[in-house]
Amino acid sequence: MNLARSLGSVGGLTLASRILGLARDMLLAEFVGANFASDAFAVAWRMPNMFRALFAEGAFSAAFIPMFNRKVADKDGPGLPAGLACSEDALSELLPALVLLTVLLELLAWPATYIISLGFHGVSHEQFAFAVMLTRFTFPYLMLISLASLAGGILNSLHKFWVAAAAPILLNIAQIVALVFFHTHEPLSTTRYQAMSVTIGGALQLAWLAHACWSSHVRLKLKRPTINEDVKRLIKLIGPAAAGAGAVQFNLLVSTALATGLLPHGSVSYIYYADRLNQLPLGLIGIGLGTVLLPTISHQLGRGADAEAMATQNRGLELALFFTLPATVALVICGVPIIRGLFQHGQFDASDAVRTGQALAAFSIGLPSYILVKVLTPGYYARHDTKTPMRFAIISIAVNLALNLALILPLKHVGPPLATALASTVNVWLLYHTLKKRGHFEPDARLRRRIPRLALAAILMGIALFFVAPLIDPYLTGSIFRRAGGLVALVGAGGLVYAAACLVTGGFVLDDLKLMLRRTRQA
């Protein structure tokens, strides 16, 4: 399989989804701003969003896809029918468990909201009740996205990556429609409709993926739950995978809870908006690479092609750094101007932009780590090892909690994002060191040669942006066309300098473009 070509397909659709998500957040900032209403929605959205990352982009895929691929790749077995039978067994256990979980969460919405917000900071009983209501509106999304992840995992294993990558677009469309057509002058009312749209978007995602499975002649039947060996293995793998894949999400949950409970209103919103922008490169590169790498590596290992799996992971890490290093430098240096150009209008004022930009710069320090986790964990999951990433994730969560407690009061809204970034760096170092120690990953000569050159190119771009950003800053306020022009100029200047620096330093050469476009045989 051509890794760059598959990444382009997934990454392009993921980029479209993230751009729509960015448009949604711009509308949310305009109509709601940064206050209690936006904080309440950020808290209500945090847990479903965490489950999306854990299941749709993490745990279920990590446990299910290697199992499905090994059954399909087994030359002595029935192939695809065996994989589909395994899927039906998984569905028979997953559906009733999700229904029960959703009912319990709806019944326990009050204590659940308290846990993920620490009771908010200085709110009235009526305000907290409003936050609980928003949480109840969003909780059904957990069930819908988890079922969608099963369908998406099957489609990814069949190398139909684009279908699952397109599904989040429907969620963003549902939320944008709610903001455009149902916003009011009252922020609380606007966030109420926004919370409802989360579950509507989840239903649309599930319907889209179910239709795609049906069109691909994948038609799972509901049957009585039976715990056979495959189901036992899946259950055994999925728990550790959830902890391993969700370290960043758990850390964000901890950061949100502490910020809600200890900092003034609006602080959670600063962190929310910063995280959403930080998710743009993470979604484009990290999720795209993780989606493509796991089935590819597991299929290669399933047929004994260990050397191919090693090469695939080297190229994945190289691609991740090629895109991530400049994004990190740009967001750290130009965080405030970018936030100003995107969000500073309507209810979102200049002071909100500065504070959100500060949080964004702190988040972005960990951007390489967030993405490298997506590149390194398939090396474990493809070998059915979900416990090692889980152990490292627990260490990361403990580091995050300690750093949060140490930094949140002196650094306020900057403390939680910085703690999350540093904790993620610890996690990725442990993942890399252990893979290398086990002999499952060894940086090849090309990767060792490219990394310092890519880093130098990113630094040169950062120096240029440091001087260019103040010149463009006056064009980042005003009409939407003026702001769009300013942002295009800022991003374009950085992109041109980075491209030129890569060619000069040898971090990326013209022959790479030919290699990316060349078709290779399927793995």
Q: Cα 148 vs. chain centroid, distance in angstroms?
A: 16
**pLDDT confidence bin for 175, thresholds 50/70/90:** very high
**pLDDT confidence bin for 288, thresholds 50/70/90:** low
**pLDDT confidence bin for 333, thresholds 50/70/90:** very high
Give the pLDDT confidence score for residue 77 in this predicted structure. 56
Phi, psi (deg, nearest 5) at residue 248: -65, -40
Over the stretch 498-514, which tens digit does the pLDDT of each residue have? Answer: 999 998 888 776 555 45
**Length, in residues, of the chain:** 523
Cα gap 329→118, rounded to integer Å:
34
Which of 107-116, 213-222, 514-523 is predicted most confidently? 107-116
C-alpha distances out from residue 124 to 112, 120, 187, 191, 391, Å: 18, 9, 17, 18, 40
**pLDDT confidence bin for 223, thresholds 50/70/90:** confident
The answer to whether residues 300 and 443 touch, using CB atoms and an 8 Å cutoff, is no
Closest alpha carbon to 247 in 61, 411, 57, 415: 57
**pLDDT confidence bin for 59, thresholds 50/70/90:** low
pLDDT at 56 over 60: no
C-alpha distances out from residue 106 to 40, 138, 139, Å: 17, 10, 7
* For residues 183-195, average pLDDT: 91
Cα gap 254→515, rounded to integer Å:
43
Give the pLDDT confidence score for residue 516 in this predicted structure. 46
Give the pLDDT confidence score for residue 359 in this predicted structure. 94
Over the stretch 15-50, which tens digit does the pLDDT of each residue have? Answer: 788 889 889 999 999 899 888 899 899 889 887 777
Give the number of other CB atoms < 10 A from CB of residue 52: 25
Cβ neighbours of residue 351 closer than 8 Å, sequence gap 6 or more: none
pLDDT at 361 over 50: yes
Least confidently predicted of 163-177, 230-244, 382-396? 230-244
pLDDT at 4 over 60: no
pLDDT at 351 over 60: yes
Cα gap 189→203, rounded to integer Å:
22
Question: What percent of the chain shows pLDDT beyond 90?
Answer: 30
* For residues 364-385, average pLDDT: 82
Q: What is the mean pLDDT of the chain?
A: 82
Give the pLDDT confidence score for residue 519 in this predicted structure. 36
Give the pLDDT confidence score for residue 242 in this predicted structure. 62
Q: What is the CA radius of gyration of the chain?
A: 22
Closest alpha carbon to 502 in 464, 447, 462, 455: 455
Cα gap 133→117, rounded to integer Å:
14
Give the pLDDT confidence score for residue 365 in this predicted structure. 92
**pLDDT confidence bin for 302, thresholds 50/70/90:** low
Cα gap 473→179, rounded to integer Å:
28
pLDDT at 67 over 90: no
pLDDT at 231 over 70: yes
Is the C-alpha dihedral spanning 276, 280, 283, 286 positive or negative? negative
Give the pLDDT confidence score for residue 511 in this predicted structure. 58
Give the pLDDT confidence score for residue 458 in this predicted structure. 94
